[in-house]
Amino acid sequence: MPFSPRAIAAAPFERVAFDQPGDGRLWARASAYKASFDEHGASVIPFFGSDAPQNFPLEFRVSSCARGGEPFALDERGVTRSGDTVRIDRGAFVEEYELALDSLEQRFVFHELPGDGDLVLRVDLATELAARDNGATLSFENEFGRVDYSEAFALDANGVKLPLDSQLVDGALELRVPAEFAANAQLPLVIDPFVTFFTVTTASPRHDFLCDVAYDASSARWGVSFVNVYSATDYDVFVRMVSATGVLESTVTIDFTTVVWTTPAIANNNWTDRFLVVAATVQPSGIADIRGRLVDAVSASTVADQFLISPADGAYRNLPDVGGDPFLGSSFYCVVWQRSVSASAVSIEFTRVDRDGVVTPGFVTLDGPSTWSERPRISNGYGIDPGDSTPAWTVVWQRRWLPSDFDIYGARVSWAGTVVNTAFPIETSGYDERNPSVSTLSDPLATNVDRPYVVVYERDYGDSDVMARVCRGSAVGPAINLVSEFPLASQTREQLNPSIDCDGEQFFLGFDERDAGGEPDVWTCTYYVNGYALYPCELRRNFAGSPAVEGECKVYAQAASGGAKERYFGTWVYLSLNNGYDVQGGLWNGCSGGMIESFCAGDGTGPACPCSNTGASGRGCRNSGNANGALLSGSGDASIGADTFELDVVGMPLNSSCLLFQGTTAGAATPFGDGLRCVNGVITRFPLSLVLNGSAHYPAFGQIPISDFQQALQPGDVRYYQAWYRDSASFCTASTFNLSNALKVTWTP
pLDDT value at 201 more than 60: no
Domains defined for the chain, CATH in brackets: 17-47+52-199 (2.70.98.30), 209-443+545-589 (2.120.10.10), 596-746 (2.60.40)
The pLDDT-based confidence of 203 (bands split at 50, 70, 90) is low
Distance CA 340, CA 373 (A): 10
pLDDT value at 460 more than 60: yes
pLDDT value at 11 more than 70: no
Distance CA 482, CA 419 (A): 30
pLDDT score recorded for residue 171? 83
pLDDT score recorded for residue 2? 63
Q: What is the pLDDT of residues 299-309, one digit of tens each?
A: 999 999 999 99
pLDDT score recorded for residue 578? 62
Mean pLDDT of 50-70: 94
Q: What is the pLDDT of residues 156-199, one digit of tens each?
A: 999 999 998 788 888 899 999 999 999 999 999 999 988 888 77
pLDDT score recorded for residue 33? 94
Q: What is the pLDDT of residues 561-580, one digit of tens each?
A: 999 999 999 999 988 766 68
Angle at 19 between CA 16 and CA 20, to 5 degrees: 155
Amino acid at 132: R
Cβ(19)–Cβ(33) below 8 Å: no
27, with CB counted inside 10 A (0-12, 13-18, 19+), is buried
pLDDT value at 396 more than 80: yes
Q: What's the Cα-to-Cα distance from 47 to each of 54, 496, 699, rounded to whole Å? A: 10, 33, 65
pTM of the model: 0.88
| Average pLDDT across the chain, whole number | 93
The pLDDT-based confidence of 429 (bands split at 50, 70, 90) is very high
Ranked by mean pLDDT, the top range of 70-84, 122-136, 254-268, 705-719 is 254-268
Q: What is the pLDDT of residues 677-698, one digit of tens each?
A: 999 999 999 999 999 999 999 9
Instruction: Find the length of the chain.
Output: 749
Cβ(413)–Cβ(354) below 8 Å: no
DSSP string, 96-143: EEEE-SSEEEEEEEES---S-S-EEEEEEEEESSEEEE-SSEEEEEET
The pLDDT-based confidence of 200 (bands split at 50, 70, 90) is low
pLDDT score recorded for residue 583? 92
Distance CA 419, CA 401 (A): 24
- Percent of the chain whose predicted confidence (pLDDT) is above 90: 78
Q: What's the Cα-to-Cα distance from 486 to each of 247, 492, 541, 633, rounded to whole Å? A: 33, 10, 10, 21
